[in-house]
Amino acid sequence: NSKVIQTPRYLVKGQGQKAKMRCIPEKGHPVVFWYQQNKNNEFKFLINFQNQEVLQQIDMTEKRFSAECPSNSPCSLEIQSSEAGDSALYLCASRDISNERLFFGHGTKLSVL
């Protein structure tokens, strides 16, 4: 069973609304990734963190998303103004520093109406 905890499991928002999802990485994993999986099974990397610092993010994330991984709190990913095209499964993954293997949460399925 996955030890990466994502909430909520499902999220329904109207266009223009904020959409926030959270992720608790596996204990002891300082590296966290967010991916978006669309209905065509295409995975898109969004952003990753090491501890509280952003390592890499794509342009879309920088412009439209707000993401953080504060110490002693869940990581979060928030779309500032949801669009229909944001409807997707958002997957959080974590890993150890020295281990390349990524472990995924169950995802948050976002539907933007």
Partner 1 sequence: GDQVEQSPSALSLHEGTSSALRCNFTTTTRSVQWFRQNSRGSLINLFYLASGTKENGRLKSAFDSKELYSTLHIRDAQLEDSGTYFCAARNYAQGLTFGLGTRVSVFP
Sites of contact with partner 1 (CB under 8 A)? 2, 33, 35, 37, 40-43, 45, 48, 56, 89, 91, 93, 95, 100-104, 106-107, 109
Single out the residue of 94, 90, 93 nearest to residue 108, CA to CA: 90
CB of 106 to partner 1, least distance (A): 5
Least Cβ distance, residue 45 to partner 1 (angstroms): 4
Distance of CA 93 to the CA centre of its chain: 8
CB of 29: closest distance to partner 1 in angstroms? 12
Residue 31 or 79 with smaller CB distance to partner 1: 31
Determine the 3-state secondary structure of 35 from DSSP. strand
C-beta of residue 92 within 8 angstroms of C-beta of residue 26: no
By C-beta, is 13 or 95 nearer to partner 1?
Answer: 95
Closer of 62 and 81 to partner 1 (Cβ): 62
Rank residues 74 and 89 by Cβ distance to partner 1 and give the closer one.
Answer: 89
**Is 59 exposed, middle or buried, given 0-12, 13-18 or 19+ CB atoms closer than 10 A?**
exposed
